[in-house]
Amino acid sequence: MRMTEVSTERPLPDNLDAERFVLGAVMSDDTSFLQVAGNISADDFSLEKHKRIFLRMLDLHERGDRIDRVTLANELNTHGQLQSVDGVSYLVSLDDGLPHLHNLESYVNIVKEKSLLRRIISVSQDTINRCLTQDDNPKEILGAAEDAFMKLGDANTRNALVTPNQIINEYEGGINSFLDTSKRIKGISTGFLKLDEMTGGFREGELIILAARPAMGKTAFALNIAQHVTSNLKSPKAVAVFSLEMSNESLLTRMVCAAARVDQQRFRAGYLNHEERSALQEALYKIVESPLFLDDSAGTNLMDVHSKLRRLQAEQDLGLVIVDYLQLMQGRGRFENRQQEISTLSRGFKLMSKELRVPFLVLSQLSRAPETRPGDHRPMLSDLRESGSIEQDADVVGFIFREEVYRPDKESLKGTAEFILAKQRNGPTGRVKLAFLNRFTKFENLAADTGDDVPFE
C-alpha cells in the first residue's frame, strides 16, 4: 500500500459518552473529583467544551468550593465561557443516563485510552509531515519521534498508589511468602559470591552502571557475568550483549578463552597444545548451546535496543542486558551538550529496564581524575564521565579497580582486583576483592571466598 493511499479522513478516536459521564459523575458527587483529576488532565478530553468544564471544576476545587451545576455555571460565566459550552442546559444534561457512579474508574480509563490514541496519531502525523517537507535531517526526525514516543510510554505507565494490603494480596503466596526470606524473589547471580552477598544479585528493573578507566577489565567483568548467567545449571537465562566497541567475533574469542582458561595471545598466534585445543573446543560447544545473544551493530540507539529486546523477550527467558559502553552511544535528536545527551541515554535505559523487568548492566567510562589524584587512585562517583543523571538514574554503581596498573613493580598486587560498590539504592556499599587472571582476561572469586584451600592458578 502506497503512503498516498493511507486514509487521513477518519475522525480521531474519542468516546463522548465516557467524557460526559466523567464530568457528570463529578457534578453528582464532587468528592469523586480527586479520583478523576488524579488520573486525567484537561487535555485528555477530546471536546474543547469538556476541557473548559474540567478546568473550571479544577478552579472550584482548588478554592475549596463545592462543584455542582450552580457553582460550575457561575464559574464558567465569570470566565465568559458559559455560552461556549452550550449553556446551563448542557451542564444539566451531563449526568443524563449516567449508569452507576461505581463505574467511574472504567469511564476514566476509556477517556485516557482514547487520549493516548490521539497523542500517538499526533506524533505520527508530525513525523509524516516532517518527512514530506524534507526540511530536516532524517536522523533528527527519527530522534524526535523516538523521544516523543518514549515520553508517551513513560506517561502511560505511571502506576497508581497502592496500599500495603494490596501489595500483600498481589504477592505470590500472600503474607507467609512475603515474610519467608527463602521464598523471596532473588536477583540474577553474578557468579561473584561476595558481590552477590552484598547486592542479592542483579534484580529486575535495575540499572547497574559498571565504570572503570581503560584497560581495567570492565568488558571482561561484564562478559564473565554474562557467561555465568547463561551457563547456570539450575536456571540458565538469556543474556543480550550490545557492544559498540568490539566485534561479535572478538567478544566470542574473549569468552571462549576465558572459559577454557587459554591465553588469548597464544590463541591468536596459533601456538596451542592438544590440551588447550580440547579445552577451547569444549568451552565453545557450551557457549554455542547457551542462550547468549550478541549485537555489534554500529550506530545503535535506544529505539534499536528496545525493539530488539522486545522481540528477544518474546522468544527467550531474558535475564540480563549488557551495553558496552554508554559513551559510545549516540542519542537521536538535538542536544545542547554531550552531558544532556548522556543523561537522556541513561534515563532511557532505566525506563527500559523497568518496562522489560530485566536488569541492565551498562558500562561507562571514567574521567582522568583517578589517574591524576595523588595517593589513592580508587575511583569515586564524581569521576563518572559526562555523568549528568547517570548517578541519579542508577540503582547500583560499581567500579573495577586494579592497583597493579598503577604500581606494576609491587609483586603482591599482581593478579588482584577490586569491585568497588560505590552506590546501591537498596543495600550497603563497600569493596569486593577478586582475582584477575590477566592472560585469560578473567575475573574470579578469591579462593578464600569459595572455601577452597588452593589458589586458582
For each of the domains in the chain, give its residue range(s) and CATH number, in order of start: 3-135 (1.10.860.10), 187-450 (3.40.50.300)
Across 381-399, average pLDDT: 77
Across 404-409, average pLDDT: 79
Q: Are 366 and 212 in contact (CB under 8 A)?
A: yes
Q: Are 111 and 15 in contact (CB under 8 A)?
A: yes
Across 363-368, average pLDDT: 82
Cell numbers placing 347: 534515563
- CA-nearest of 189, 166, 187, 185 to 177 is 185
Cell numbers placing 334: 538535538
Across 37-50, average pLDDT: 87
Q: Are 316 and 310 in contact (CB under 8 A)?
A: no
| Model confidence at 324: pLDDT above 80 | yes
| Model confidence at 410: pLDDT above 50 | yes
Mean pLDDT of the chain: 80
Verify whether residue 172 is a known catalytic residue.
no
Nearest 5°: the CA angle 156, 158, 163 is: 145
Query: Cell 550497603 belongs to which residue?
Result: 428
With a pLDDT cut of 90, the percent of the chain lying above it is: 7
Q: Which residues face 423 on adjacent strands?
A: 397
DSSP one-letter string for 230-265: HT-SSS--EEEEEESSS-HHHHHHHHHHHHHT--HH
- CA-nearest of 273, 237, 231 to 256 is 231
| Model confidence at 242: pLDDT above 60 | yes
pLDDT digits (tens, 9 = 90+) for 253-305: 888 888 888 877 777 777 778 887 888 888 888 888 888 898 888 777 777 78
The rounded distance, in Å, linking the Cα atoms of 127 and 125 is: 5
Q: Are 346 and 207 in contact (CB under 8 A)?
A: yes
The rounded distance, in Å, linking the Cα atoms of 248 and 251 is: 5
Three-state DSSP at 127 gives helix
Cell numbers placing 107: 469511564
pLDDT band at 41 (very low <50, low <70, confident <90, very high): confident
Three-state DSSP at 159 gives coil
Q: Are 283 and 259 in contact (CB under 8 A)?
A: yes
Catalytic pick among 48, 197, 245, 282: 245
pLDDT recorded at residue 452: 43
Strand order in the sheet with 318-324: 292-295, 238-243, 318-324, 360-365, 207-212, 396-401, 416-424, 430-437, 442-445
Across 377-405, average pLDDT: 79
Higher pLDDT, 233 or 355: 355
The rounded distance, in Å, linking the Cα atoms of 242 and 210 is: 14
